[in-house]
Amino acid sequence: MEDKPEISSEPSTIKALLEQSVLQTNRFDEEADTALYDKSSPAEYRTKLRERATVIAELPDKIQRLVGQGESIPENELVDLRNLAFSAREALEGKNDLYLAAFLSRRGSKVSDPNLLEEILERLYPHETSK
């Protein structure tokens, strides 16, 4: 697996923050999948899922900081992000790897479907995202 650069700078817009978060969560998904199929790394699988959940759990606080700097987000989308962050925190507190792996997916979704964070990004910035 090729090493990917760490995404470290804090975005200055909500759009950039959400795009960065999508990239991070997708990268952690890929790394978790690799660890899952590499039978020698079961702990790495859980670690990557926990890192992905942490990205989501931290989003509302980061968004609030940006709102304090003049950015705006519709209240209904902020509520959806808070609910997603709540699910991420529940997944982090639990011992269920299945929930940790699935909290970003809509029930009945296919692998090719966008996850819940990607759906929020697309609703806020339709056809503007650089996936």
For 8-58, what is each residue's pLDDT tens digit? 578 999 999 999 999 999 999 999 989 888 876 788 999 999 999 999 999
Residue 64: partners with Cβ closer than 8 Å, 6 or more residues away: none
Distance CA 31, CA 16 (A): 22
Q: What is the predicted pLDDT for the residue at 54?
A: 97
Distance CA 23, CA 43 (A): 22
Q: What is the predicted pLDDT for the residue at 36?
A: 86
| Three-state DSSP state, 76 | helix
- Select the more confidently predicted residue: 84 or 111: 84
pTM attached to this predicted model: 0.86
The DSSP-derived string for 37-61 is HSTT-HHHHHHHHHHHHHHHHTHHH
Q: What is the predicted pLDDT for the residue at 6?
A: 52
Q: Give the model confidence (pLDDT) of 1-22 as tens digits.
A: 455 555 557 899 999 999 999 9
Structural contact between residues 63 and 73, judged by C-beta atoms closer than 8 angstroms: yes
Q: What is the predicted pLDDT for the residue at 123?
A: 95
